[in-house]
Amino acid sequence: MSARALRVWAWLHKWSSLVCTIFMLLLCLTGLPLIFAHEIAHLTGKAVELPRAERPDALASLDAVVAAGRLRHPDRIVQYASPDEEDARLWYVTLAPSLDATGDFRSIAVDGRNAAVLAEPRFDEGFMYWMTRLHIDLFAGLPGKLFLGFMGLLLVVAIVSGVVLYAPFMRKLEFGTVRQRSGPRTRWLDLHNLLGIVTLVWALVVGATGVVNTWADLLIKYWQFDQLSSLLAPYQGQATVPEADRAPLQQMMDAARGHLPDKRLSFIAFPGTAFSSPHHVTFFMKGDTPLTARLLQPVLVDARTAEVTVAPDLPWYLTALLLSQPLHFGDYGGLPMKIIWMLLDLATIVVLGSGLYLWQRKRHQRPVQTGMPVRPGAAV
């Protein structure tokens, strides 16, 4: 590679790293507790658990479950309902002030065996809420998501440019060398490069899937405009079906399950919400394997007649979004996978922090050993 090309790659690596490093450090730090969100909920006693029942196999109708949640907040509207991922007998009913509300939610945990309200967990307060909002959108909504998505793109540029610069640098050293007899800056440079190349694939996967996740709102809106609107053309212009005119919810769920008998329910979106139409209750179904459990298929059931209208396959971009979410947090392989994700996250924090250190030291003295870093923030 020519000297001019190396300078261009070095410039790309330096500035993409410097711009995104602080935000990547924030995302790595906030992402650590999110990896273990389920375990933290159980340790802190915030996880809802079903009590023992005299008839453990008995199930209440879904209408009774949703009605129990609605009675807790009669001034609100039911937007969604979903069974617990671990125990389908536990239900969560989500209510909001209006159909199009996006921030003010109340989630009611209901025992699906007897329709008894168990708890009202708050997901909009506490340490985990702050970590989640900082990680997802910096408390800035869609603009915050898109900004973090751009930072993720800069991270990808920094990683790719670092790999390009790594090859000529490593011609001088054996792989994994950390020169202990040199000064602290040289040792940190070697450690920066070593950890950078070791975590290369993981950082690319997490960075790229994080970028995709920031586009979730836009992708869903595009799906509604591009495909869902054409499928629901016969219902265009009709008002949202009022609750009094709807068929029994249990009957609608039975129709959805009958249409896709090999799948199980993920969540229900009620008429007029972001994931449904004004005239339908939409049942999002999923498979049983670790992969298919992440792939959803909507079944739109007519809210008046309880008949299945359509069950379209999701387009490729929403499939990519659904697959990117478990890859981003490493929550598809149980606790061992989460521990691996934690260790790689910690290594990335060291890479980012050492990159800032190397850049700061370079501003005050000439480098002891010339060479090119691998990962964001080095700018040496």
Per-residue pLDDT, 367 = 46
pTM above 0.85, yes or no: no
Q: Is residue 107 part of a domain?
A: yes
Per-residue pLDDT of 126-141, as tens digits, reads 899 999 999 999 999 9
Per-residue pLDDT of 93-110, as tens digits, reads 999 998 877 778 899 999
Name the average pLDDT for the chain.
86
Per-residue pLDDT, 335 = 87
Per-residue pLDDT, 379 = 36
Alpha helices in the chain (DSSP H): 3-35, 37-43, 62-72, 127-136, 141-170, 184-198, 200-214, 216-223, 229-231, 249-259, 316-329, 334-364
Per-residue pLDDT, 176 = 58
Per-residue pLDDT, 181 = 65
Q: How many structural domains is the chain composed of?
A: 1
pLDDT band at 377 (very low <50, low <70, confident <90, very high): very low
How far is 158 from 285, CA to CA, in rounded Å? Answer: 39
Given a cut of 70, is residue 380 above it in pLDDT? no
Given a cut of 60, is residue 279 above it in pLDDT? yes
Q: Is residue 105 part of a domain?
A: yes
CATH code of the domain in which 69 resides = 3.10.450
- Burial bucket for residue 13 (CB in 10 Å: 0-12, 13-18, 19+): buried
pLDDT band at 327 (very low <50, low <70, confident <90, very high): confident
pLDDT band at 264 (very low <50, low <70, confident <90, very high): very high
pLDDT band at 370 (very low <50, low <70, confident <90, very high): very low
Percent of the chain with pLDDT over 70: 89
Per-residue pLDDT, 325 = 84
Domain residues for the domain of 98 are 47-120
- Residue that wins the pLDDT comparison between 347 and 194: 347
Backbone angles phi, psi at 50, to 5 degrees: -75, 135
Q: 158 is written with which tokens?
A: 């920094």
Which residues, including other chains, have CB under 8 Å from residue 189's CB and lie 6 or more apart?
A: 354, 358, 367, 369, 371, 373, 378, 380
Tokens 């199930």 locate to 59
Given a cut of 50, is residue 319 above it in pLDDT? yes
Per-residue pLDDT of 34-83, as tens digits, reads 999 989 988 888 888 888 766 667 889 999 999 999 999 999 999 999 99
Q: Is residue 114 part of a domain?
A: yes
Given a cut of 90, is residue 366 above it in pLDDT? no
Per-residue pLDDT, 129 = 92
Strand 106-111 and strand 90-96: the pairing is antiparallel
**Mean pLDDT of all residues in 335-348:** 91
Per-residue pLDDT, 374 = 40
Q: Is residue 37 part of a domain?
A: no
Given a cut of 60, is residue 118 above it in pLDDT? yes
Q: Is residue 207 part of a domain?
A: no
Q: Is residue 95 part of a domain?
A: yes
Q: 89 is written with which tokens?
A: 């007998």
**Mean pLDDT of all residues in 250-257:** 97
Given a cut of 80, is residue 318 above it in pLDDT? yes
Q: Is residue 130 part of a domain?
A: no
Q: Is residue 355 part of a domain?
A: no
